[in-house]
Amino acid sequence: MGDIVLIRNWRTGEERPKNSDTAVDAVAEAWASLDGKYDHYEREREQAKRDGRLNRDLHGYTGHYEGYQVEAEELIARIEKRGFVIKRKDDAS
């Protein structure tokens, strides 16, 4: 499994562990890229991996990593609510 960092739900303020290398990451990365914010997203993700948490006090912090992660989770939850399953292409099950 990938690295674990803490992310904060911007709606509730709740901080929780976030595993990397998930469908959420794939959706968040794609969305950030479409929005032209991938550089900000990647910079904050790498900082969080390196430090084990997000540092919101760093110069240049944008919140894009947390924002896209939370919104990707919500999109996936809504897709699954409609009966679709999201899984890795190489998942045999």
Classify residue 89: in a domain, yes or no: no
- 85-91's contacts with Cβ under 8 Å and 24+ in sequence apart are 86/23, 87/23, 88/23
Classify residue 13: in a domain, yes or no: yes
Classify residue 9: in a domain, yes or no: yes
Query: What integer is the mean pLDDT of 2-29?
Result: 64
Separation between Cα atoms, residue 27 and residue 71, nearest integer Å: 9
Classify residue 18: in a domain, yes or no: yes
Based on the structure, what is the number of domains in the chain? Answer: 1
Classify residue 71: in a domain, yes or no: yes
What is the number of other CB atoms lying within 10 angstroms of the CB of residue 41? 23
Residue 81: both structure tokens together: 């609510």
Mean pLDDT (the chain) is 77
Cα separation values, 5 from 21, 53, 74, 80, Å: 12, 5, 19, 24
Q: 38-56, pLDDT tens digit by residue?
A: 999 998 888 888 887 777 8
- Best CA proximity match to 37, nearest among 72, 74, 6: 72
Q: 66-84, pLDDT tens digit by residue?
A: 889 888 888 888 888 888 8
Residue whose structure tokens are 């550089």: 39
Classify residue 90: in a domain, yes or no: no
Domain enclosing residue 9, as ranges: 4-81
Separation between Cα atoms, residue 86 and residue 15, nearest integer Å: 24
Classify residue 91: in a domain, yes or no: no
